[in-house]
Amino acid sequence: MRNVLVTGASRGIGAQCARLFAQNEDNVYINYYRSQKNAEGLLDELLGSGFSAHIIKADVSDPIQVKEMFAQIETECVGIDVLVNNAGIAQTKLFTDISDKDWDKMIAVNLSSAFYCCRAALPYMIRRKSGRIINISSVWGQIGGSCEVHYSAAKAGIIGLTKALAQEEGLSGITVNCVAPGVIRTDMTSHLSEDDFNALKEEIATAVIGTPDDIAKAVLFLASPSSSFITGQVLPVNGGQC
Ligand code: NAD
């Protein structure tokens, strides 16, 4: 049974990743920061279905809390076999209105968190000469999103981190890949009106808005034996948005 950590897994894409890993008979760690009730609800759902799951609190933008989270996990199991860096925040602002604080928070939650978690997870993976890291980027990290420059920069940074780390860890038997979701219906996009979604559909080949399940299936694939020869790649899951 593999030990899987999904960051920001109390809801949305992260929660669906946790569900699919649990159904796959992995032992799942559901990281949350503020949404304890949601995390407990998901835990009850998974344990109630006979799956193996735990919840673990940490603000993944804080290197000390990440260190403590991994120390706690390693007292319960030997280490993490599959790391999914999913936690993220978004913000829509004109570039000229982005404050230093906005910028620093965006980079800390969306990019530095992946650095902290990869750094904490890797020693065990390197010792075992196996491991899977899947980072959640975004279509905006690939093509750039207007009024989301800081978000786009952080998500593009995730792609750079993924490609470089994949090169460094290839001989250690560890794959590092990204999933780049397009527009997905979650709390992150709940501020959008149906008119906004319809306008976005015009930029999507399939004219469909994605679901957390679309992304979670891609994440599960990149953690599966079927993808063992894939590393350093960005898998766009976006209905053909370009
Ligand atoms: P969401 O807002 O529902 O989920 C984000 C999760 O991250 C939440 O559970 C939140 O509590 C958690 N989180 C935020 N800050 C945290 C912190 N400091 N420490 C720990 N957890 C923290 O949104 P979602 O759509 O499920 O987003 C999941 C990922 O997918 C994010 O990285 C997001 O950028 C990315 N993404 C989403 C979309 C979309 O359209 N929804 C598109 C592209 C990429």
Assess whether the C-beta atom of 44 lies below 6 angstroms from ligand 1: no
Q: Whose CA is nearest to atom 18 of ligand 1?
A: 59
**151 within a domain of the structure (yes/no):** yes
Q: In this model, does residue 178 exceed pLDDT 90?
A: yes
| Residues with active-site annotation | 151
Assess whether the C-beta atom of 236 lies below 6 angstroms from ligand 1: no
CB contact at 8 A, 200 and 145: no
In this prediction, residue 97 carries a pLDDT of 98
Assess whether the C-beta atom of 135 lies below 6 angstroms from ligand 1: no
How many domains does one find in the chain? 1
The domain in which residue 164 lies consists of 3-237
**Taking residues 124-129, what's their average pLDDT?**
98
**201 within a domain of the structure (yes/no):** yes
Q: If pLDDT is split at 50, 70 and 90, which confidence band does 123 have?
A: very high
Q: How far is CA 211 from CA 75, 123, 152, 208, 242, in A?
A: 35, 34, 21, 9, 18
Assess whether the C-beta atom of 131 lies below 6 angstroms from ligand 1: no
Q: Whose CA is nearest to atom 9 of ligand 1?
A: 8
**90 within a domain of the structure (yes/no):** yes
**125 within a domain of the structure (yes/no):** yes
CATH number, domain containing residue 175: 3.40.50.720
β-sheet with 82-85: strand ranges across: 52-57, 27-32, 3-6, 82-85, 131-136, 174-181, 234-237
Length of the chain: 242
Per residue in 31-51, pLDDT (tens digit) is 999 999 999 999 999 999 999
- CA atoms 17, 22, 27, 29: torsion sign: positive
CB contact at 8 A, 91 and 102: yes
Per residue in 192-229, pLDDT (tens digit) is 999 999 999 999 999 999 999 999 999 999 999 999 99
Per residue in 11-36, pLDDT (tens digit) is 999 999 999 999 999 999 999 999 99
**109 within a domain of the structure (yes/no):** yes
**242 within a domain of the structure (yes/no):** no
* 3-state SS record for the chain: CCEEEECCCCCHHHHHHHHHHHHCCCEEEEEECCCHHHHHHHHHHHHHCCCEEEEEECCCCCHHHHHHHHHHHHHHCCCCCEEEECCCCCCCCCHHHCCHHHHHHHHHHHHHHHHHHHHHHHHHHHHHCCEEEEEECCHHHHHCCCCCHHHHHHHHHHHHHHHHHHHHHHHHCEEEEEEEECCECCHHHCCCCHHHHHHHHCCECCCCCECHHHHHHHHHHHCCHHHCCCCCCEEEECCCEC
Residue from 11, 111, 188, 191 whose mutation best tests the ligand 1 pocket (most atoms within 8 A of CB): 188
d(CA 77, CA 66): 16
Q: How is residue 76 written in tokens?
A: 């319960």
